[in-house]
Structure 1
Amino acid sequence: MKMAKKKRKPNDNNVMATNRKARHDYFIEQTYEAGISLTGTEIKSVRERRLNLKDGFVSIRNGEAYLMNVHINEYSEGNQFNHDPLRNRKLLLQKKEIKHLADAVQTKGITVVPLKVYIKHNFAKVLIGVAKGKHEYDKRETIKQRDQKRQIDRVMKHY
């Protein structure tokens, strides 16, 4: 008698990197999930969690989306076939999604930033967000609201 396969819940073990600074510096208006075109040594480095999204952004050129300025360290076991850590990587999106992103970027003050990289069904995926920049007073307001929420949760925990 065969047992049914258990469905795996998505968890934080699959998240390889997050861009915490993006949520601090931008209002995220919309998100998209995209695949990343990676070489063999790049995916091995991603699985070792050796990447940095902090300064990354998405550029739309010739109807294609590219992940720019994301640093993926060279694979430690790689030899002369290792990759360039800062190369531009193509994002795998549908044409309709790329058109939406291109239209959004035309608006002043809007950019597309990577939010997190994770593994889903053995493929590397990136969550990208259409973002609008925050002013300094918006950042302070966000910090204040977060602190108030923590205090409320702390008090409610005892009741």
Structure 2
Amino acid sequence: MILANNKKAYFDYFIEDKIEAGIELVGSEVKSIKASKVSIKEAFVRIIKDEVYIMGMSVVPWEFGSVYNPEEKRVRKLLLHKKEIKKLHEKVSQKGYTIVPLNVHLSKGYVKIDIALGRGKKSYDKRESIAKKDQKRDIERAMKERY
């Protein structure tokens, strides 16, 4: 069950390699995320000292929580194997690659996040993807009218 989606990532980047990671959460953040009060639109991923962190991910504080609710946009650690971190670090060190959060979802009751290795699109690539999307929409519209 997808709780938050980053549609703009597919528009701004060529997505090459997807990895599912756990998120280190504290307090009532899990309840808030399960209530879909999470946003990853402005979020980005960084590798700091062989650990992966997501920054800018917004989790609205749980309204029935205590005064000890964590901050809304705090830095959260992502849980990955060392091999995966090393692989990501090697790719990101190359020019043009970045790590992009794609979606936050539930997997067997646990909150997970899909991150991907992305290569930035140029403006002409974006125009091309818009044109393809328009063509697909026109074809679907024609097929609907035909039947």
Task: Give the TM bin, normalised by the shorter chain.
Answer: over 0.9
> For 1:95-120, what per-residue CA distance to the aligned partner results, in whole angstroms no more than 9, with x for missing partners?
11101111111011211010000011
Q: For 2:139 and 2:45, how far apart are their aligned partners in 1? A: 37
Q: Deviations over 1:43-84 (max 9, x none)?
A: 111011111101111111121111111111111111212011
Picking from 92, 95, 115, the partner of 2:79 is 92
- Number of aligned positions between the proteins: 146
The one of 60, 80, 94 aligned to 2:47: 60
AA at the equivalent of 1:21: K
Q: Distance in 2 between matches of 1:156 and 1:36?
A: 43
Q: Amino acid of the residue matched to residue 118 of structure 2?
A: A
Structure 1 stretches of 4+ moved >2 Å: 153-159
Could you report, residue by residue, the CA deviation over 1:7-44 in whole angstroms, capped at 9, with x for unpaired residues? xxxxxxx1100001111111111110001111131111
The one-letter code of the counterpart of 1:45 is S
| TM-score, length of structure 2 as denominator length | 0.94
Which of structures 1 and 2 has the bigger CA Rg? 1
Identity level (%): 45
What is the alpha-carbon distance in structure 1 between the residues aligned to residue 63 and residue 87 of structure 2? 38
| Residue correspondence of structure 1 range 1-159 to structure 2 within 5 A | 14-157=1-144, 158=146
SS at match of 1:138: helix
For the residue of structure 1 that corresponds to 2:117, the secondary structure is strand
- Name the CA distance, whole Å, in 2 between partners of 1:51 and 1:136: 29
Supply the distance in 1 between the matched residues of 2:61 and 2:100 (Cα, whole angstroms).
Answer: 23
CA distance in 2, matches of 1:86, 1:57: 12
Unaligned runs of 5+ in 2: none
